[in-house]
Amino acid sequence: MITEEQASQVVAEILGHYKKRKKNLIPLLQEVQTKLGYLPRKALREIAEFLDIPEIEVWGVATFYNQFRFVPLGKYHTMVCMGTACHLAGGRLILEALERELGIKVGETAKDGSFSLERVACIGCCMLAPVMVIRDRIYPKMTPFKVEEALIPYKQEVQNLNNIKKSKSK
Ligand code: FES
């Protein structure tokens, strides 16, 4: 994972390409999120200082749009399509099954950084509804039972990694 110092360097580099104009706030937030995967609190402060506006104003704008995230994505970022076709085909049940299985809510990342969960709009394969995506892999025609099945190898991998970390720290 990127350190705070590295993140600040990335932000400084991005800021270097912009003029100090308030209208650049959203493009700046977007670019920082694209590069870092989320908006760290420190980055919001740095953007506020750069634009010479109160930090609370940057927070206000960032939290208004649900495209912005304030926690890093998990190793296995999981998305549930909630576009019309998927919603009608039971997308909500898939989402609930994932929340139950992963122990996190939409928009959250597990404490160990293993999984994160997000709802997205149509991803363009409505014939396969309802659909979920883990990293780049699309899972078609999902049911709550298939969610459980699909997660098994990922959970296994997470457990193995956690066991290795534990044994190294002994
Ligand atoms: S609505 Fe889910 S893929 Fe189109």
Q: List domains and CATH numbers for the chain.
A: 4-64 (1.10.10), 76-169 (3.40.30.10)
Token pair belonging to 31 = 């670019």
| Rounded distance from Cα 3 to ligand 1 centre (Å) | 36
| Rounded distance from Cα 115 to ligand 1 centre (Å) | 22
* Neighbour tally for 48: CB within 10 Å: 17
Q: Is the pLDDT of residue 121 over 80?
A: yes
Taking alpha carbons only, the member of 94, 75, 72 closest to residue 83 is 94
* 1 pLDDT tier (thresholds 50, 70, 90): low
Question: Residue 167's pLDDT is what?
Answer: 84
Spatial distance between the Cα atoms of 114 and 74, rounded to a whole number of angstroms: 5
| Rounded distance from Cα 150 to ligand 1 centre (Å) | 19
* Neighbour tally for 60: CB within 10 Å: 10
pLDDT tens digits, 19-53:
999 999 999 999 999 999 899 999 999 999 999 99
User: What's the predicted TM-score (pTM) here?
Assistant: 0.77
| Rounded distance from Cα 79 to ligand 1 centre (Å) | 12
Identify the residues whose C-beta falls under 6 Å from ligand 1. Answer: 81, 83-86, 122-126, 129, 131
- Residue of 79, 81, 95, 127 best suited for mutating to test ligand 1, as the one with most atoms within 8 Å of CB: 81
Q: Which atom of ligand 1 is nearest to the CA of 84?
A: 1
